[in-house]
Amino acid sequence: MNNEVSKSYTIKLTLIATLGGLLFGYDTAVISGTVESLRHFFIDPMGLPLNEANAMEGFVISSALIGCIFGAAMAGWVSQTFGRRKALFAAAILFLLAAIGSAWPEIGYHMPSDGDHSFVYHFVAYRILGGIGVGIASMVSPMYIAEIAPPDKRGSLVGLNQFAIIFGMLVVYFVNYFIAKQGDTEWLHTTGWRYMFASLAIPSVIFFVLLFAAPETPRWLVMKGRIKQAESILTKLVGSAMAKTEIEDIKHSFDKEETVSLKPYYRFMMTWLILFVVGIISLSLASVSSALEISMIVSFLIALYVPIKSYGFLIIMTGVLLSAFQQFVGINVVLYYAPEIFKSMGSGTDSALLQTIIVGIINLSFTVLAILTVDKFGRKPLLITGALVMAASMLGLGTSFSQGLPGGLKLVFMLTYTAGFAMSWGPVCWVMLAEIFPNSVRSSVMSIAVAAQWVSNFLISWTFPIMDKNDTLVGMFNHGFSYWVYGALAILAALFVWKRLPETKGKTLEDMEKLWKK
């Protein structure tokens, strides 16, 4: 098979796998156009006190992230046992079920109503179901691409998954805007939000159908002893001349790789959770934001300077912290709550949705820049640069809110922050997670790391409305405090990459164990 045919086959499989990323982005961002409607439909009829209503709103908006945590945690076992391809099939089915159920949570009980809080937990259950699909896709799609991609193009091809995530978000921003224009505010609060969730069904069906054209990855097949099948697929990917050599390299890597103990991981995670619980208990003495900041910073410093006692601890700790920091910088606050943030700047509903689309376009454009440069400049330089850009932008945004500066300046900081994330931590974090772990433990350790990412995502997304609508913090800082927290955490992210993260540019997946043992 000639080189051009091999390249086209690799690209075809990559594009199919990236549909999992597109659905990941679509499902997580669809909520941004429905926040006000969900509050009107589900939460206001409950008649809760303001603080309780804000907490309930944060829970409903971030409920899908609970599913993401479980999905990512189980994705390692599912993809290891049944294969990467079947795991993606499962994700496609879950996306479809979530699209229908989230749009009509009353399904099976009675006809849709104009506002009924009694089905809020049915809605949450369907969002969790979709979140499980997101959790599976968020881990398996980049891993699938990494396992079929050549080393010199792996960064760019895995980066396409992040492009697909952002593209899915941008598409749903346009879809939400289009649906919102079809009626007045009352129609949007009772009916329009349903169509926003239901629109997810279309790409879900397309993904399910196209997966029939995608084979299993050669590395999983070798791991299961299905050598002939793996060789057949590798022949299509790299040509017959290299297929046999690569099969031997993969077999050798499984034979020689050291088994990684997960016990140090559990010790580390228990330390982190204890610190976090201590921080939450301190709510009686301080604010949510202070509790979060203290617990995150202390756990970071312990992880940064704790003696590394084992090879397995080093691998797992690095993956968990890399994942967590991608969320601690606050990106999903921007993506989930963008329309609400823009309204707090003084924009109307239509203007807020349009400005959210601008954020999506910036995100997409700078993701392309990262895809084009990640295999040229390496992973670490992009991550450090992006973290510093985000830190400066978040600190500037917080100051703009605190000092009551014009909305245009706040928009500039928001867009600069988005660009900094898109050129670095957005795509490059997923590239690193998909390639950095040795073959024999990739699925299990990546599952742990991605689950940690979704735990962090949930915590940040849940606590943002609590911080942002806290009367004391608003009175003191005028909505600026939470952005200062994310800016400080972005600085810590840059320090982590500088001190702890190895460079993986140009390395084969079979070289990763040697890289760690250095």
Q: In the chain, which stretches have pLDDT less than 70?
A: 1-6, 108-117, 253-313, 335-356, 407, 439-440, 506-518
Yes or no: say if 162 and 14 are a contact pair by the CB < 8 Å rule.
Answer: no
pTM: 0.75
Report the distance separating Cα 345 and Cα 330, nearest Å. Answer: 18
Q: What is the 3 state secondary structure string of 481-517? A: HHHHHHHHHHHHHHHHHHHHCCCCCCCCHHHHHHHHH
- Give CATH 1.10.286 domain extents, the chain: 217-256
Taking phi over 0 as left and psi of -120 to 50 as alpha, with beta for the rest, 287 belongs to beta
Q: Which DSSP string corresponds to 123-144?
A: HHHHHHHHHHHHHHHHHHHHHH
pLDDT score for 20: 93
- Give CATH 1.20.1250.20 domain extents, the chain: 1-214, 257-518
CA distances from 403 to 164, 391, 430, 487 (A): 37, 18, 36, 17
Listed residue (455, 435, 431) closest to 445, CA to CA: 435
Listed residue (363, 412, 390) closest to 486, CA to CA: 390
In one letter, which amino acid is 323?
S
pLDDT score for 15: 93
Q: What is the DSSP letter of 109?
A: T
Packed helices 50-82 and 331-344: angle between N→C axes, nearest 10 degrees:
150
- The hierarchical CATH code for the domain 1-214 is 1.20.1250.20
CA distances from 503 to 261, 262, 377, 378, 499 (A): 23, 23, 10, 7, 11
Report the distance separating Cα 470 and Cα 58, nearest Å. Answer: 13
pLDDT score for 4: 60
pLDDT score for 42: 84
Token pair 């439909």 is at which residue?
Answer: 41
Packed helices 263-281 and 288-305: angle between N→C axes, nearest 10 degrees:
150
Report the distance separating Cα 233 and Cα 27, nearest Å. Answer: 31
Q: What is the 3 state secondary structure string of 431-479? A: HHHHHCCCHHHHHHHHHHHHHHHHHHHHHHHHHHHHHHCCHHHHHHHCC
Listed residue (444, 379, 477, 434) closest to 146, CA to CA: 434
Taking phi over 0 as left and psi of -120 to 50 as alpha, with beta for the rest, 111 belongs to beta
Please, what is the end-to-end C-alpha distance for the chain in angstroms? 37
Token pair 């943030």 is at which residue?
Answer: 341
Report the distance separating Cα 18 and Cα 366, nearest Å. Answer: 18
Count of other CB atoms within 10 angstroms of residue 286 = 12
Residues, the chain: 518
pLDDT score for 452: 82
Token pair 């540019």 is at which residue?
Answer: 505
Report the distance separating Cα 91 and Cα 139, nearest Å. Answer: 11
Yes or no: say if 56 and 46 are a contact pair by the CB < 8 Å rule.
Answer: yes
pLDDT score for 209: 97
Report the distance separating Cα 411 and Cα 388, nearest Å. Answer: 18
- Which CATH number is 217-256's, of 1.25.40, 1.10.3470, 1.10.286, 3.40.720? 1.10.286
CATH architecture for segment(s) 257-518: Up-down Bundle (1.20)
Secondary structure E strands in 61-112: none
Report the distance separating Cα 413 and Cα 416, nearest Å. Answer: 5
pLDDT score for 279: 47
Report the distance separating Cα 4 and Cα 347, nearest Å. Answer: 50
